[in-house]
Amino acid sequence: MDRQFNHVQSGDIRLRVAVEGEGPLVLMVHGWPESWYSWRHQMGPIAQAGYTAAALDVRGYGGSDRPHPVGAYDMQSIVGDLQAVADRLGGGRAILVGHDWGAPIVWNSALVDPVRFTAVAGLAIPHLGVGKAPFIDIARKLFTDKGRFFYQIYIQDEGVAEAELEADVRGGLRKLYYVLSGDAPAGAWPGDKVHGDTLTHRLIDPEVFPAWMSAADLDYFVSEFEGSGFRGPFNRYRNFHRDFAWLSQFAERRIEQPSLFVSGAQDMALKMFGHDVEPRMREVLSDLRGYHLIEDCGHWTQQEKPDEVNALLLDWLSRI
């Protein structure tokens, strides 16, 4: 099927959306540091199954607009972007699929707007409810106050992380993609990094890159970030207090729509949430229809194991 790029207006922001196929809208939302291209393996199979497969460039990334203010990247604004895409491409309805930062975006979109968003799947990052405090405050106590490095704390100071990654986009992406993948050896992420270290300090740049990301794939991501820079993507991490203030009104609400969770069994991000993730998810998701851990898979779920992810997504879609 032919793939095309559409542009959707969301307020004063123009969003680029890759689209393939016809039928009910399945809107896929990427994480950091990625783009619509992260869903390249999913779009064709979903379109062939009878859906409009759409993969968004989140604001700040790729071909979408990149407003400068930090507040332009709060959760409420980005949920509004998904609503605009659902209205324009899905007749006011969409099934959501998100990975990494895209997962909290789709979980919260489904939470606050159950009419537009009829089902939701999250990859890598689970939904555990709104929480009792802004996550960044909890992270400071767990990491910074103990002198430990935590990447989301490092990102808080505007311009610092941007300067590091933009000085060597290719090298930074290679290190991040590798160290969080299922191909990296145990301990590839230095557990003894201290507060004050940089993001890519002591990360491995492998001589041979994992086969799941070809040279052409890496070239595409590098080109996108050389064009967009990293300020917009990093601004998403600078809105925890705004997000908490807005989402607190929905703290007692459960996600009632059909849902799905998929993660790599070796994903460092999932391990941050402890060992009882599934029962905690079932407390806040009324219709969780699958909780799947894919073996030999790290954080880049749908890129590392596209066949396994596609099978799970298509089965779930067929049952909603």
Instruction: Summarize pLDDT for 106-154 with one digit per residue, the tens.
Output: 999 999 999 999 999 999 999 999 999 999 999 999 999 999 999 999 9
Residues in CB range of 236: below 8 A, 6 or more apart: 32, 58, 60, 73, 78, 101
The mean pLDDT value for 52-56 works out to 98
270, two tokens: 């999932």
Listing from the earlier edge strand, what are the strands of the sheet with 117-123? 3-10, 13-20, 52-56, 25-29, 94-99, 117-123, 255-264, 285-294
Q: Among residues of the chain, what percentage have pLDDT more than 70?
A: 100
Are residues 108 and 176 both part of a single domain? no
49 pLDDT higher than 80 = yes
Q: For residues 173 and 176, give the distance between their C-alpha atoms in angstroms, rounded to a whole number.
A: 5
Smallest CA-to-CA distance from 235 within 58, 76, 70 is with: 70
pLDDT digits (tens, 9 = 90+) for 10-45: 999 999 999 999 999 999 999 999 999 999 999 999
Of 142, 312, 303, 151, whose CA–CA distance to 236 is shortest? 151
Q: What is the pLDDT of residue 45?
A: 98
Mean pLDDT of the chain: 97
Is the domain of 247 the same as that of 206? no
User: Which of 235, 263, 294 lies at the terminal end of a domain, its last residue?
Assistant: 235
117-123 vs 94-99, strand pairing mode: parallel
**63 burial type by CB count under 10 A (0-12 exposed, 13-18 middle, 19+ buried):** middle
Residue 52 tokens read as 């409009």
What length is written for the chain?
Answer: 320
Q: What 8-state DSSP symbol labels residue 171?
A: H
What pLDDT is recorded for position 36? 98
Q: How many domains does the chain have?
A: 2
In a shared domain, residues 260 and 292: yes
Range of the domain at 292: 3-131+242-318
What pLDDT was estimated at residue 279? 98
Residue 156's nearest CA partner among 241, 89, 267 is 241
Is there a single domain that holds both residue 162 and residue 293? no
Same domain, 89 and 145: no
User: From CA 173, how far away is CA 244, in angstroms rounded?
Assistant: 29
Same domain, 66 and 150: no
Q: Evaluate if pTM is beyond 0.85.
A: yes
* The pLDDT of residue 1 is above 90: no
Q: How far apart are CA 173 and CA 127, in angstroms?
A: 27
Same domain, 9 and 112: yes
Q: Do 171 and 101 belong together in one domain?
A: no
Q: Which entry of 100, 183, 243, 267 is annotated as an active-site residue? A: 100
Q: Are residues 26 and 84 in the same domain?
A: yes
Average pLDDT over residues 158-173: 98
Q: Catalytic residue, from 30, 99, 127, 299: name it.
A: 299
Residues 38, 174 share a domain: no
182-211 average pLDDT score: 95
Q: Same domain for 160 and 51?
A: no
pLDDT of res. 219: 98
Neighbours of 56 (CB within 10 A): 29
Last residue of a domain, one of 190, 215, 235: 235
Per residue in 218-238, pLDDT tens? Answer: 999 999 999 999 999 999 999
Burial level of 111, CB count in 10 A (0-12/13-18/19+)? buried
Residue 131 burial by CB count (10 A; 0-12/13-18/19+): exposed, middle or buried? Answer: middle
107/164 same-domain check: no
**Among 235, 261, 282, where does a domain finish?**
235
CA-angle at 103, arms to 300 and 284, nearest 5°? 130
Q: What is the CATH number of the domain that holds 60?
A: 3.40.50.1820
Full 3-state SS string of 65-92? CCCCCHHHHCHHHHHHHHHHHHHHHHCC
Q: Respond yes or no: is residue 100 known to be catalytic.
A: yes
